[in-house]
Chains A and B, each alone.
Chain A
């Protein structure tokens, strides 16, 4: 579904070697110390950064040279996912028509997406008048209306309280399954995503380590970097 083989990215003194494989319907947590390149990985996948070497394959097609808008990829940021001057409904509608001119089918699609994330009643509000969690749900609703195959989430729930984070995580997982997406989620809460994630990708020391199951990752840290990250000392 999603694959990068022998990718390399460099910018100034920063370098990252990338190998990655994700199946559809799989929720992968991306962990690693800050500054390791978690966001960079997502930016590369979304097309905001370009690798000097290697290819990004989505569904068998090479998307490396495609601009962000042509990739079947959606990214949800930590903040500023919504335009403050547009209503929640309009913010979702942007996913279908950047000029906000929608036909009836499209309108129904927006309504359905908002309902799916539980925002049906708030559709006409502006982002300033809803909570942080609700703003992030808008971003998810927008993913639902787009022809997305890969979903990237860059610490999207960091600002939410733990209960809400779990809810949102569950929602992301449901969407991943329903839409058969390959989802990469950058998180700083390894323990919280342990149960939800299907696999964990760890980034440190300029490389992306191969995916492991959460149980394997937490049970026996394979590298000193992982141990240091998890706060355990390796024996």
Chain B
């Protein structure tokens, strides 16, 4: 009998968010004002999200594969840098992209960042490196023998891809693609700021109905539309990528024996360079602009301390909830693990607030809200990072239950040693995501909780754009340090 406590906790959290609004919806008699423009909103949402996903996933796979094949000195560093975009607040990324190709940018007139192209570039900047890291990790989980076989049987590059690598990628693909799709569908700042007024996504419509119109029933109706649409798409993705039983392995790939043709070598390096070109210049802009404005006031330290505390708490909670979800193979668990992205955070936060504000308005409660919302948003990443390796551990399920190893002990004795790198990667992603988060704190009200991203926005809101650049850099440096530490910790793998 499997316990499904995490699933129940998440379901409870979701119910807590939706139920109060559902009550309002029923009370309003279901009379919801939804304009016909909603169809063009839907179409645009799907179009840009689908394009962003495609442009992140396909290069993500090719770059991950090239990185896995080419062992070079800077590989770990490059992968560490690829972890950073997740921590970059959306507006900082937008300003980074405009600094490169905007009207006053380094390469003005290359591609105008204003419009769909700009939205896609920012989305790819955020999601392509994340996808690369997850796919790279999946590729590392092939058994050594698979590559020996491929070498012995004289597999061509495409045969190696389809027979060895694709089955591994397929385990990670639906979750990674779903995350990116949902993230882009819900993208707000980048879509509005670069897309302009005509770029309206469903998320903007939901935000509008909660904010300007204060019409929770309408927001809920739109939210349910989004949930239905996303769930259907995820179900479709899962059906399209039916999973096979994975290799049961303990010794992951170290060597790839296939001799590489010059063409393949050139292709790999071209891909890696291209990937680098997507990610590094924006990070470079943040570094270059922030360097002379790096400042450490009392506020900085306070923001830093609070950010780290909140992020560590959120990431821990996300890991506790995510570990069993990564093991679960039923589709309900899969959808639940994505719920933090499917469900608009604005709706959840409103619902939670309606139920729980009676408990008081203490800082502790607000902090708990923020941690809960952040961990729910981080959950999909945690599950994605753990899934590929977790599936391989399924082979030990019987042994474990036979020995009566369960719960925390199972984690300590069996899973942590075996899943060390996957777990640190999962934790890191949750951590970095929460560090850069502004959504939860904006929705729930900061009430004196000052994090680095809120500090950054305070600075921007008071004409202190230069200080904000320093703060953005600090955020990036902290995340860089944590990523480096996590890689060191994860590498001490058996």
Contact = CB atoms under 8 A, between A and B. Distances in A.
A98 B145 contact: no
Contacts, number: 79
A69 B154 contact: yes
A83 B247 CA distance: 8
B148 A68 contact: yes
A98 B155 contact: yes
Given A46-B152, A69-B152, A86 B145 contact: no
Contact of B153 (A48, A69, A126): A69
A99 interface: yes
Nearest to A75: B152
A84 B244 contact: yes
B156 A98 contact: yes
Interface in A111-129: 126-128
Interface in B97-149: 143-146, 148-149
B85 interface: no
A77 B247 contact: no
Interface of A: 46-48, 67-70, 73-75, 77, 79-81, 83-86, 94-95, 98-99, 126-128, 142, 146
B158 A84 contact: no
Given A47-B257, A69-B151, A85-B244, 7 more contacts: A47-B152, A69-B152, A79-B143, A99-B158, A126-B244, A126-B245, A127-B245
B249 A80 contact: yes
A94 B153 contact: yes
Given A48-B257, A84-B247, A98 B148 contact: no
Contact of A99 (B145, B146, B159, B167): B159
Contacts of A146: 153
A70 B245 contact: no
A77 B145 contact: yes
A83 B163 contact: yes
Best-surrounded residue of A46, A73, A94, A128 (most CB of chain B within 10 A): A94
A85 B245 CA distance: 7
B207 to A, nearest CB: 43
A159 to B, nearest CB: 12
A95 B150 CA distance: 10
B291 interface: no
Best-surrounded residue of B144, B146, B148, B258 (most CB of chain A within 10 A): B148
